[in-house]
Amino acid sequence: MNIYIFQWISDLGGADTRLKDLIKLLGNNKKYNIYCIPNDNMRFLEKDNIKFYNKYGIDYISWQTLPKKTDGIALSFCNFRLFSEDWRIKKIKDIGLKFVWSNDMMWHTKEEIKAVNDKMIDGYLYTSDFHKSKMSSEEIKNNTKEFIIPNYFDSDSYVFFERSKKDLFTIGKHSRPAPEKFSVDFPLFYQNLNLRNPKYRIMGVDNKIKDKFKWYNFNEQWELLQPNQETTSDFLNSLDTYIYNSHPDFIENQSRAITEAALNGLPIIAPNKYNFPNQIINKETGFLCDSYEEYKNYAKELENSFSLRKEMGLKASKITRDIWCNKDKQLNTLEEIFSEVMNG
């Protein structure tokens, strides 16, 4: 079967890192002929990404060199330019491909819904029951097939890190540099946890984010890193606990950052809402909070107990690895989706 992926990998953002792990799973699989098509040809100059595609037997072609007619699956996660520049989705359909789309966000665009109503989407993917409950609609139900397929993580890419006991308690998080990934009082959120000996490390802070919080004096306790300033594993290795902070109006779907932290062996503190209860087992792999006071209490408890951090981190890594790194389950689910879409 031909699979044309209308998207490009990167090491930043949930959709593109999701694709990177998926390529590791599907690459060199004789069942599939896989092609990646970036929106812009300048992507072919990215030597590290080209090396990655070559390693896993993935072809890469431009929109200009797509075949005039073919069959198979077109797949994309969150490449909204397929709809805002609608010649792209029209070309996908005109050459004979069945289009499988995943909007990993928690909102639709008007161009996306127009494509749904025009029956341009043959399969609509959700990452969880929670995601589907928020995003499904009568329009989607009536015009396309719906499927649930959880995020997949390549187990070898997220290695458990054995932490040593030390007095300094390092906390933080990583994300893409988007305003909705930070609460309006983001520095105070961490500072007011009133920890005994904290260090705050945040990766995903570009100049725009820094400018937004210029009212706060970031002292020597803080280390603000640009997006991808360190590898994800190196950054997570530096933390003792992962504490999630985002804008209260931002609804998190199936956060890859949370799962990456758990696989690394970090206990996690996060809100008791959205999809977090499906990713964190409360009081086993981390803590779910209904109030800021609970954030403070749990953070202090973890600061004061290395043994608790170690126990929770081990559980987080093992349980998360069993759930999110299941190769056979992911492959079987993908195969079922592709088959139903092709035969539907």
Query: What residues in the chain have per-residue pLDDT under 50?
Result: none
Q: How far is it, in rounded angstroms, from Cα 288 to Cα 215?
A: 30
How far is CA 254 from each of CA 1, 8, 15, 30, 59, rounded to the nearest angstrom?
29, 20, 11, 30, 29
Q: What pLDDT does residue 147 have?
A: 98
For 108-140, the pLDDT digits (tens) are 999 999 999 999 999 999 999 999 999 999 999
The answer for residues whose C-beta is within 8 angstroms of residue 226's C-beta and 6 or more apart is 177, 203, 204, 205, 206
Looking at domain 156-323, does it have CATH number 3.40.50.300?
A: no
**Fold agreement (2-152+326-343, 156-323):** yes
The neighbouring-strand residues paired with 198 are: 169
Give the pair of three-digit tokens for residue 284. Answer: 């086993």
For 152-194, the pLDDT digits (tens) are 999 999 999 999 999 999 999 999 898 888 999 999 999 999 9
| Domain residue spans of the chain | 2-152+326-343, 156-323
**Which string of b and e fits 32-71 if b means at least 16 CB within 10 Å?**
bebbbbbbeeebeeeeebeebbeeeebebeeeeebeeeee
> Which CATH architecture fits 2-152+326-343?
3-Layer(aba) Sandwich (3.40)
Query: pTM here?
Result: 0.92
Q: What pLDDT does residue 344 have?
A: 79
Q: What pLDDT does residue 25 have?
A: 95
Residue 121, burial from CB neighbour count under 10 angstroms (0-12, 13-18, 19+):
buried
Cα angle, residue 262 at apex, residues 148 and 55 outer, rounded to 5°: 70
For 283: left if phi > 0, alpha if psi spans -120 to 50, otherwise beta; the answer is left
Q: What pLDDT does residue 194 have?
A: 96
The answer for residues whose C-beta is within 8 angstroms of residue 107's C-beta and 6 or more apart is none
Long-range pairs of 162-167 with CB within 8 A, sequence gap ≥ 24: 162/265, 163/240, 163/265, 163/309, 163/310, 163/313, 165/306, 167/197
Q: What is the sign, positive or negative, of the torsion defined by CA atoms of 322, 326, 330, 332?
A: negative
Given a contact cutoff of 8 angstroms between Cβ atoms, the answer to whether 77 and 112 are in contact is no
Q: Which amino acid is at 5?
A: I
